[in-house]
Amino acid sequence: MSKILVIAEHLGGKLNPSTARAVSAAAAAKPEAIDVLVLADNADAIAAEAAKIEGVSRVLTVTRAENAHALAAVLAPQVAKAAAGYSHVFAPSTTFGKDLAPRVAALLGVAQVSDVMAVEGSHTFKRPIYAGNAIVTVEADPAQTVVATIRTASWPAAAIGANGTPVEALNLDVALPSYTRFVELKQGKSDRPDLQGASKVVSGGRGVGSKENFEIIYKFADRIGAAVGASRAAVDAGYVPNEMQVGQTGKIIAPELYMAIGISGAIQHLTGIKDAGTIVAINKDAEAPIFEIADLGLVGDLFKIVPELEAALAG
């Protein structure tokens, strides 16, 4: 029977929802046990959150001052050491997981399976290729530890229970690299929902026209309580910061409602929203590719349509 170790992602003392999605993927492999590994300088509160995720057998903690910041070079040797006795090591396919998992795989001397969107068996997985235009089935070597990143947009978050599972502290005797050090963390702050986990997202594209015009997107998103995203074209044009980018080279999301305003629908953008529930497109170009995948489409000037929608909501 397989045993899966899920690496917890956290920031600011709080567990990232991507961890619960990775646990869902782990459960699909029907393992004997699913353990969550928390690496932090103070793991107590994070471990308590992880312990309430349904399906988790144990939460393992590694508390070291060096783990105060999520540096892949520092965390990877610890994960590789903790992975002894596990058949699988899963991490969310977020910036955190994409940075960490390849290092863990290299230290274990195995190939990595990326962006797992479906589990067909304990060592058989499906993942997207060619910007999501094709799905490939891959089979990992059963004789080796499987290191995989989980496409979080393809998995629901595991339920949160009332009672926590056991939490155990690990004391790993592993030397950590001294060539990597933390300098600073720059991140955008917003009162809006987090783009990665929001149930509603409003995104603007090049068609919005300017950084100043993007206020129409912010205003409408605030009206419906949505997170705000953007296409790569809008980011490259300087309308918004790159942490708002949705798509293959940005964030891959799966909201219940996705509104694409002034976005033509390049394949790289569509890759990031293919798991969305309902897609609404607003564009003046009736031939825009976004309309091919949209559930609802409005052809016209966004600067007329969006205020009209907002007025309708207000009424």
Do 207 and 165 share a domain, yes or no? no
Do 10 and 54 share a domain, yes or no? yes
Number of C-beta neighbours around residue 223 at 10 A: 15
Task: Decide the pairing of beta strands 33-40 and 58-63.
Answer: parallel
The reported pLDDT for the residue numbered 213 is 96
Do 29 and 157 share a domain, yes or no? yes
Do 152 and 299 share a domain, yes or no? no
The reported pLDDT for the residue numbered 315 is 67
Per-residue pLDDT tens listing for the chain (315 residues): 799 999 999 998 999 999 999 999 999 999 999 999 999 999 999 999 999 999 999 999 999 999 999 999 999 999 999 999 999 999 999 999 999 999 999 999 999 999 999 999 999 999 998 878 899 999 999 999 999 999 998 999 999 987 789 999 999 989 888 888 889 887 767 778 889 889 999 999 999 999 999 999 999 999 999 999 999 999 999 999 999 999 988 999 999 999 999 999 999 999 999 889 999 999 999 999 999 999 999 999 999 999 999 999 986
Candidates 300, 3, 20, 9; CA nearest to 160 is: 20
The reported pLDDT for the residue numbered 265 is 94
Residue 244 maps to a domain = yes
Judge whether 264 is annotated as a binding position. Answer: yes
Residue 182 maps to a domain = no
Judge whether 145 is annotated as a binding position. Answer: no
Judge whether 152 is annotated as a binding position. Answer: no
Judge whether 114 is annotated as a binding position. Answer: no
Residue 229 maps to a domain = yes
Residue 179 maps to a domain = no
The count of domains in the chain is: 2
Single residue among 169, 189, 219 that ends a domain in this structure: 169
**Do 138 and 119 contact (CB within 8 A), yes or no?**
no
**Do 262 and 205 contact (CB within 8 A), yes or no?**
yes
DSSP string, 25-70: HHHHT--SEEEEEEEESS-HHHHHHHTTBTT--EEEEEE-GGGGS-
Judge whether 78 is annotated as a binding position. Answer: no
Do 145 and 100 share a domain, yes or no? yes
Judge whether 269 is annotated as a binding position. Answer: yes
Q: Give the Å distances, CA to CA, from 160 to 23, 32, 50, 241.
A: 11, 20, 9, 33
Residue 215 maps to a domain = yes
Judge whether 232 is annotated as a binding position. Answer: yes
Residue 174 maps to a domain = no
Q: Which residue range forms the structural domain that includes residue 112?
A: 3-169
Judge whether 261 is annotated as a binding position. Answer: no
Residue 290 maps to a domain = yes
Judge whether 266 is annotated as a binding position. Answer: yes
Helix (H) or strand (E) holding 81: helix 72-82
Q: Give the Å distances, CA to CA, from 156 to 136, 150, 197, 287.
A: 21, 11, 11, 33
Do 44 and 153 share a domain, yes or no? yes
Single residue among 169, 192, 227 that ends a domain in this structure: 169
The reported pLDDT for the residue numbered 157 is 92
Do 285 and 206 share a domain, yes or no? yes
